[in-house]
Amino acid sequence: MLACRMEITHPPVANILTRSSGFLRTVCSHSLQPYRGCPLGSSLCGQGCYVRHSPWVTRGRAWGSFLEVRDQAAESYLATVARERAWARRARGSFAIFMASATEPFPAAERRFGVSRRVLEAMLEEPPDLLIVQTHSADVVRQLELLLRLQARCRLRVHLSIETDRERLPGLPPPASPVRARFAAAEELHRRGLEVVITVSPILPIADPPAFFALIARCASAVVLDHYIGGDGTPDGRRTLATPLPGAMAALEPESVQLDYRDRMAEVAARFLPGKVGINVDGFAGRYLGATGGARSRDET
């Protein structure tokens, strides 16, 4: 069930631009979290969310039960962007921002607080070299015009997560944003000329793989597949194995809890998006499988 009570706080923001480390290091120079905590944490995606395992973020609170609204995010961005841009170009070759890796930038609360919208407006004034907007929410279409203006000022990709074609997985909570709504959002963004990448992350049992990837090919320019094995911050998926997610996946499709499942689905995806299928961190960085099966570099990030 979705959490019905949410602790909302408004802490001061010291520095909204975080220099990337770990798996994000080859994806971007910085991550940017407009919120801390995530209202989607009690929904389907929250079950396999690697952030829920971070004691630094949760500080003992249940994932999905709290939201820190970072009201001064845009001001912090503008105050630090010159320094961070110079550092990123010198140290990483490019000023590339991933928004957001540890929260949802467009939860329902964004309609009230507008933190992500104000950050995007600040980026219009001081654009990065590359912006990757990562979301699980169809609400991203509410910022369509702003994203189109930003696309004229920097390279921009919208990563929209759609992990399966199923609206429900028995035994697990529903997604916060229905699958059909996210596909409709992707279609609209793509139709208006934005670069849309569907992130199937972590991959869940897909009922009709050819139909699923054919649909993705109609509303996106690329697809990224990620499995909880190797994708949850542990090499063997042990964080996720401690949650109800693998059991629910296995009940529907026993093979889906094996890493091979991701690769078999990648083969299906490649029939519909040749040269535009990314795996794990390479995919998030825009490095896609080539005709020979090797990843190739797309962005100098």
Q: How far is the CB of 291 from ligand SF4 (least distance, A)?
A: 32
Among 3, 20, 41, 222, binds ligand SF4 (CB under 6 A): 41
Nearer to ligand SF4, 63 or 95 (CB): 63
Among 16, 24, 45, 273, binds ligand SF4 (CB under 6 A): 45
Q: How far is the CB of 66 from ligand SF4 (least distance, A)?
A: 12
Q: How far is the CB of 136 from ligand SF4 (least distance, A)?
A: 4
Q: Can you tell me the distance from the alpha carbon of 261 to that of 69, in angstroms, rounded to the nearest whole number? A: 38
Nearer to ligand SF4, 58 or 103 (CB): 103
Q: Where are the alpha helices (DSSP H) in 192-257?
A: 209-219, 238-241, 245-252
Residue 92 Cα distances to 77, 88, 301, angstroms: 19, 5, 7
In sign, the C-alpha dihedral spanning 276, 180, 49, 40 is positive
Of 282, 295, 288, whose CA–CA distance to 24 is shortest?
A: 282
Q: Based on the shown chain and the rule CB under 6 A, indicate whether residue 38 belongs to the binding site for ligand SF4.
A: yes
Helix axes 179-191, 209-219, angle to 10 degrees: 30
Q: Based on the shown chain and the rule CB under 6 A, indicate whether residue 141 belongs to the binding site for ligand SF4.
A: no
Q: Based on the shown chain and the rule CB under 6 A, indicate whether residue 46 belongs to the binding site for ligand SF4.
A: yes
64: left (phi over 0), alpha (psi -120 to 50) or beta: left
Name the token pair of 265. Answer: 């689905």
Nearer to ligand SF4, 2 or 148 (CB): 2
Q: How far is the CB of 41 from ligand SF4 (least distance, A)?
A: 4
Nearer to ligand SF4, 40 or 273 (CB): 40
Q: Based on the shown chain and the rule CB under 6 A, indicate whether residue 136 belongs to the binding site for ligand SF4.
A: yes
DSSP letters along 131-191, please?
A: EEEEES-GGGGGGHHHHHHHHTTSEEEEEEE---S-S--TTSPPPSS-HHHHHHHHHHHHH
Q: Can you tell me the distance from the alpha carbon of 141 to that of 212, in angstroms, rounded to the nearest whole number? A: 21
Among 29, 103, 151, 177, binds ligand SF4 (CB under 6 A): 103
Q: Based on the shown chain and the rule CB under 6 A, indicate whether residue 67 belongs to the binding site for ligand SF4.
A: no
Q: Can you tell me the distance from the alpha carbon of 26 to that of 21, in angstroms, rounded to the nearest whole number? A: 9
Question: Do strands 277-279 and 222-225 pair parallel, antiparallel, or not at all (unpaired)?
Answer: parallel
Among 3, 27, 28, 40, binds ligand SF4 (CB under 6 A): 40
How many residues of this chain interact with ligand SF4, rule: CB under 6 A? 11
Stretch touching ligand SF4 by CB under 6 A, among 42-50, 146-154, 190-198, 225-233: 42-50
Nearer to ligand SF4, 127 or 173 (CB): 173
Q: Based on the shown chain and the rule CB under 6 A, indicate whether residue 49 belongs to the binding site for ligand SF4.
A: yes
For ligand SF4, the binding residues (CB under 6 A) are: 38, 40-41, 45-46, 49, 51, 102-104, 136
